Amino acid sequence: MSKFLPFGRVLQDIRFAFRTMVTHAEFSAVVILTLAMGIGVNTAIFSLVNGVMLRPLSFDHPDQLVKVMNRSLPKGGYAALRERLQRLDVACYAHESGFNLTNNGETVRVVADGISSNLFSVLGVKPLLGRDFTREDELPGRREVIIGYSLWQSQFGGDRNIIGRNVMLDDVPHEVVGVMPRGFNYPVSSQIWGAFDVDPSTADYWGWGYNVLGRVRPGNDLASVRAEFKGIFPQIVGAFPFAVDPRLVPEADVSLLQHSQVARVRNMLLLLLGAVAVILLVACVNVANLLLTRSTARQKEMAVRAALGGSRGRIMSQLLTESVVLGVTGGVLGLLLAWTSLGFLRSMLPADTPRLAEVAIDRHVLAFTTVLSFVVGLIFGTLPAFHASRPDIEQMLRANALTSGPGRGRSRTSAILVIAEIAMAVVLVSDAGLFLKSLWRLSNMNTGVQEEQHLLIGNITPSWAFYQNGGDHCEGFYRQVLGSVRGIPGVKSAALADTLPLENFFGGLISAKDQPDSAISLYATWSFTVSPGYLQTMGIPLLRGRDFTANDRRGSPPVVLVSRNLAQAMWPGQNPVGRVLGMSAGKEVKAWSTVVGMVEDVQHYSSSSTFNPDARGDVYVPSTQGIVMLPYFLNIVVRTEGDLPDMQKQVAGAISHINAGVPMSKWRTMRQIVSKSTETPRTTTWLFVIFACLALLLGLVGIYSVISYTVVQRTREIGIRMALGADRSQILGMIVRRGAMLALIGLVLGTAGAIALNRVISSQLYDVKTTDPLTYLIVAAVVAIAAVLATLVPSFRATKVNPTVALHCE
């Protein structure tokens, strides 16, 4: 605007805008609060998107960092990539594990990661104290570790002499060679890092779980790196001594590390950003309607300005300045609302949301809000300014306030704006309804586990050295644990398991002995290693055959249990008991086992997880037989009717009495596991509900304002009708019908738009179709009732018009 007007005139317009705001304080307050809600929620969500998705990673030249593959590789695959890729410096980290750290006689469980010696240098991060790993640290038998800042503070008191000291990890001394800076915990929550051995000449292809990332070498770009990788990777996979998922090569790619880190939450964040954009549009339409309505009352003022020589451009510039001042004021208040609500927003999101700690109101968010406030002021102010800047001077100067109505065109524009508000609100309310139904389905899904609230679970974590004393030694310890825990008063049953429903990440491939073709088309499964009594403790129904017993021990014929879905896939319509299946190691069967029972399926992942997507069902292996490598840590699962916190203390005490050097960690209940599995959809749902309520509220304010103004403009007409015999019910019906008609049109258009647009949220829904008729019926009823209620107050006001006073006003 200042480009076309002298600076002094701009200041004059701004001062007049503030005087107008003060003069019409109530009107200005409604407009500013409306804008504050719209700008505030957009600022809050943008700060989330900025912190998680847009802000560069806190590494050196983060635009050069890439993620190789969308899944893990065997160590041999990583070694081959490191040797053969010329355009990329690759590094690697393994899936996080744990160690028992013994310090000052106390044993605690710490999160550890095995990494390649160059991981930190590829990331561009240097230790705060000490040195980084070198290639020599990858040699077999080396025991150097680097510890995290928080662990250094909590366990070693920030002792700067920690470098060179030995710490006991799983009863084995490891030399501390470095301490990482404060806040660094890549990947995820690591507290200790150690360099794993990498020898390309004896590459290990059987140990999967290695995640590869890299830094683009100078002179190259992402396209050239991707082309090189696409040419080399199929050759590397061809060297694997086993069959792999046929999708492994086609799906393998190279992408920016920042994009891969937030891939899990990207869709959720974009959906939330789209939702608040709709709210802002509703707010802009609402304010535009309010200003359009108010411009009618200012027609005489505009006519006087025009009669005194004010050009249309000059009038429009003044009105747009007023709009921008309102927008900026609403933006300031919206920024304050966003700042105060940011902590609440962060608390609603799952704790494992990537980069959540980096979400803040920074200069980028301030710039976003500033620009948004100016743009919003121009958007909602343009249409009212356009209408108000072309008055009929003669008619306006001769008319009074009640006879100079809004005109057919302006009334039609106002009605269209209200319809648009309602339609947009319906889209958000429909989304919220679908998310609510999806969340209800998730919360009431059949996990396959009975009475989840009575199940207490904790990790028993003996050291690796303890496990290496021999399988019999470790199994004897776990037998003692079960015997001791089952003897605690209040314990109904107890069992051991390597993983639980909704936490399972163990998969495998199996084939049937009586189906030669299955050795080629292997069946993907979920696998569980459990003790006898697990089914009873978890409440998983046994459908056929028998459960594991104490007789299923090392040296006895190997047995397994299968779930209903897997049995149906492998032996359709047949009894699986007595069948023989094999745990496959690539093209060879590692061991043949007899199916002794069929159980009900359990839930593994609640919604759209892509992990092990081809799994056909479950296989249970007895931990007592040692057919597969017994994990050196297991979960203790306790079913009890007693107080869970007290039971946790008793179970931990019983295990400590057997071996005080074996710590317990990660206590939780099955109900908490179920709740955690629904964290992300629950967050999305409740945020959409909040946004839908805001949008609907703004839409109802729009209806209310239009009907209120209609009553004022039609006061004389209402007086005449009442003078001619119309009763209050007829007047009420006349006014309500106008509001109901606007709401009905908006409802129809909004429902059609929701059905067309809601396909974008289909991947976020669980067991709910985007065309679910019941949801749309409920939404229609809610919006219709709310719209009618919004028209009742001004409609009742119309019935109280005094015909004599109304006619005398003329």
What range does the domain containing 663 cover? Answer: 452-677
Residues 6 or more apart in contact with residue 339 via CB below 8 angstroms: 361
DSSP state of 53: I
Q: 492 in a domain, yes or no?
A: yes
Give 519's pLDDT tier (boundaries 50, 70, 90): very low
Across the range 460-476, mean pLDDT stands at: 71
What distance in Å separates the CA atoms of residue 417 and residue 423, rounded to the nearest whole number?
A: 10
What distance in Å separates the CA atoms of residue 409 and residue 387, rounded to the nearest whole number?
A: 9
Report the pLDDT value the prediction gives residue 204, as an integer from 0 to 100.
Answer: 64
- For the cut 50, the answer to whether the pLDDT of residue 178 exceeds it is yes
User: pLDDT tens digit string along 103-143?
Assistant: 877 778 888 888 888 999 999 999 999 999 988 888 877 88
- β-pair type (210-216, 88-94): antiparallel
Look up residue 380 and give its two tokens: 């909602």
Give 413's pLDDT tier (boundaries 50, 70, 90): confident
Q: 412 in a domain, yes or no?
A: no
The residue written with tokens 């008619």 in the block is: 395
Cis omega before residue 187 (within 30°)?
Answer: yes
Across the range 539-555, mean pLDDT stands at: 89
Give 401's pLDDT tier (boundaries 50, 70, 90): very low
- For the cut 70, the answer to whether the pLDDT of residue 398 exceeds it is no
Report the pLDDT value the prediction gives residue 120, as an integer from 0 to 100.
Answer: 93
- Phi and psi for 788 in degrees, rounded to 5? -65, -40
Of the residues 239, 263, 280, which one is the last residue of a structural domain? 239
Report the pLDDT value the prediction gives residue 258, as an integer from 0 to 100.
Answer: 87
Give 288's pLDDT tier (boundaries 50, 70, 90): confident
Residues written for the chain: 810
Report the pLDDT value the prediction gives residue 94, as an integer from 0 to 100.
Answer: 83
Written as one letter, the residue type at 544 is R
Report the pLDDT value the prediction gives residue 4, as an integer from 0 to 100.
Answer: 47
Domain count, the chain: 2
User: pLDDT tens digit string along 678-696?
Assistant: 888 888 888 889 988 888 8
Across the range 70-96, mean pLDDT stands at: 85
Percent of the chain's residues with pLDDT above 90: 20
Across the range 6-26, mean pLDDT stands at: 74
User: pLDDT tens digit string along 595-604?
Assistant: 999 999 888 7
What distance in Å separates the CA atoms of residue 397 and residue 304, rounded to the nearest whole number?
A: 8
User: pLDDT tens digit string along 306-364?
Assistant: 555 556 566 677 778 888 888 899 999 999 999 998 888 888 888 778 888 888 898 99
What distance in Å separates the CA atoms of residue 403 and residue 170, rounded to the nearest whole number?
A: 90
What distance in Å separates the CA atoms of residue 167 and residue 147, rounded to the nearest whole number?
A: 10
Q: 168 in a domain, yes or no?
A: yes
Give Cα separations from 151 to 148, 162, 174, 648 (angstroms): 5, 12, 15, 25
Give 393's pLDDT tier (boundaries 50, 70, 90): very low
User: pLDDT tens digit string along 730-771?
Assistant: 777 777 777 788 888 988 998 998 888 888 888 788 788 888
What is the CB neighbour count within 10 angstroms for residue 425? Answer: 31
Report the pLDDT value the prediction gives residue 715, as an integer from 0 to 100.
Answer: 66
Q: 187 in a domain, yes or no?
A: yes
What distance in Å separates the CA atoms of residue 173 and residue 740, rounded to the nearest whole number?
A: 77
Q: 390 in a domain, yes or no?
A: no
Who wins on pLDDT, 244 or 650? Answer: 650
Report the pLDDT value the prediction gives residue 795, as an integer from 0 to 100.
Answer: 72
Look up residue 297 and give its two tokens: 């009352």
- For the cut 60, the answer to whether the pLDDT of residue 399 exceeds it is no
Report the pLDDT value the prediction gives residue 106, as an integer from 0 to 100.
Answer: 78
3 state DSSP class of 512: strand
Of the residues 645, 677, 709, which one is the last residue of a structural domain? 677
Sign of the alpha-carbon torsion through 351, 353, 358, 361: negative
Report the pLDDT value the prediction gives residue 325, as an integer from 0 to 100.
Answer: 87
Q: 404 in a domain, yes or no?
A: no
- For the cut 60, the answer to whether the pLDDT of residue 610 exceeds it is no
Give 443's pLDDT tier (boundaries 50, 70, 90): confident
Among 381-385, 403-407, 714-718, which stretch is predicted with the lowest mean pLDDT? 403-407
Q: Among 549, 532, 529, 513, which Cα is nearest to 618's?
A: 529
Look up residue 642 and give its two tokens: 């007693």
Across the range 636-664, mean pLDDT stands at: 87
Across the range 783-792, mean pLDDT stands at: 84
Of the residues 239, 256, 274, which one is the last residue of a structural domain? 239
Angle ∠(524,529,531) on CA atoms, nearest 5: 145
Q: 270 in a domain, yes or no?
A: no
Look up residue 62 and give its two tokens: 């983060």
Report the pLDDT value the prediction gives residue 708, as an integer from 0 to 100.
Answer: 74
User: Under a CB-based contact definition with an 8 Å cutoff, are residues 690 and 495 in contact?
Assistant: no
Report the pLDDT value the prediction gives residue 749, as an integer from 0 to 100.
Answer: 92
Across the range 240-261, mean pLDDT stands at: 79
- For the cut 80, the answer to whether the pLDDT of residue 201 exceeds it is no
Look up residue 467 and give its two tokens: 């496990």
What is the CB neighbour count within 10 angstroms for residue 18? Answer: 13
- For the cut 70, the answer to whether the pLDDT of residue 403 exceeds it is no
Q: 509 in a domain, yes or no?
A: yes
Written as one letter, the residue type at 2 is S
Look up residue 482 and give its two tokens: 């079960």
Give 386's pLDDT tier (boundaries 50, 70, 90): low
What is the CB neighbour count within 10 angstroms for residue 24? Answer: 15
Averaged pLDDT score across all residues of the chain:
81
